[in-house]
Amino acid sequence: MKAMKFAVPLFVALAYGPSQGLAQSILGPELASFAVLGASDVTSANVSNIGGNLGSFPTAPTTAATNFNMLFGSFQPGTQGTAQTQLDLALAALPVFGVGTPILGGSLDAFQLTQPGFVIAPGTYSVPFLASGNITGNLVLDGGGSNTAVWTFLFESSLITSTVSNVSVTDVGDGANVGVYWKVGSSATLNGPTFEGNVLAVASITTDGNLTMGCGRLLAANGNVTLDGVGSNIGLGCTGFASSGGLDQGNPGGIPSAIPEPEIYAMMAVGLGLLGWVGRRKQLKEAAAA
């Protein structure tokens, strides 16, 4: 009986626990389960599709739950104290502005044009304020074939994208341990149609509507998250690199849901075999005692 008690937890751990060699995730497990998290409010002018938990703490969202189509996760008003604490820790864990490669003038588009292949390689970048927008075109984050590529963008104050801007992640293999972080010193304004990665803003986050962020999160530490316009699509799935944990270096608590990764099916088989052996041994003992 004791062997069975140990076998079941072992099987569960093998099937759903983090795989060996996992990179260091930045987001805590509770925080990683959120696609949208605010502090003072989360609002949506129209119905938004959300792929993860959504909530605000300490002030609950003022928008009705019916304006959030929860494809994954749940609507959690006013109950995210642990998640907000982990957001503070995540902001503290990321480097401060001034570290890494400086983006002179604050334009990531202009910087991209100076790079080989006109793409941005993994690294840490410090981005100063630019009123006209930090991203105004198509920004391509190219991992060069590495599934451990990590991009960290450190904004001195605000992050602003134009209405025609797009951010994409490419050439990262299966993306198992890829991370993309946008640490914003004040507020983020995302006006473009597509964006990727985890936006961690000290103040607030605003979109002008119809934003699609397939892989990533909107996390505001002290302000609100505002989804304006016709509705947004946040955290609906990391196509091509689902095991990245929502671009948080393979975070096992990340969205989408915890489906066993292909490389651990062999370990699952070992667990099943152990359960079968324990059951067979018990049957033999019972037969001998009869």
DSSP state letter for 256:
S
pLDDT of residue 267: 40
Q: Residue 67: is it exposed, middle or buried by C-beta count within 10 angstroms (0-12/13-18/19+)?
A: middle
Q: Please, are residues 235 and 255 in contact by the beta-carbon 8 Å criterion?
A: yes
Stronger pLDDT, 107 or 287, i.e. the higher one: 107
Q: Is the pLDDT of residue 236 over 90?
A: no
Q: In the structure encoding, which two tokens stand for residue 178, read together?
A: 């890829």
Q: Dump pLDDT digits (tens) for 35-82.
A: 999 999 999 999 999 999 999 999 999 999 999 999 989 998 876 789
Share of the chain above pLDDT 90, in %: 68
Q: Dump pLDDT digits (tens) for 114-140.
A: 999 999 999 999 999 999 999 999 999
pLDDT of residue 230: 82
Q: In the structure encoding, which two tokens stand for residue 106, read together?
A: 């604050």
Q: Please, are residues 249 and 65 in contact by the beta-carbon 8 Å criterion?
A: no
* All structural domains of the chain with their residue ranges: 29-244
Strand, coil or helix: 78: coil
Q: Please, are residues 55 and 42 in contact by the beta-carbon 8 Å criterion?
A: yes
Q: Please, are residues 199 and 216 in contact by the beta-carbon 8 Å criterion?
A: yes
Q: What angle do CA 207, 209, 211 make, to 5 degrees?
A: 75
Q: Dump pLDDT digits (tens) for 155-210.
A: 999 999 999 999 999 999 999 999 999 999 999 999 999 999 999 999 999 998 78
Nearest by Cα to 228 from 58, 34, 48, 30: 48
pLDDT of residue 127: 98
> Where residue 11 falls among pLDDT bands split at 50, 70, 90?
very low
Peptide bond into 77 cis (omega under 30): no
Radius of gyration of the chain (CA): 21
Averaged pLDDT for residues 19-48 = 85
pLDDT of residue 3: 43
Cα distances (Å, whole numbers) of residue 199 to 69, 150, 276: 21, 14, 46
Q: Is the pLDDT of residue 272 over 50?
A: no
Q: How far apart are alpha carbons 143 and 196 in whole angstroms?
A: 14
Q: How far apart are alpha carbons 93 and 195 in whole angstroms?
A: 23
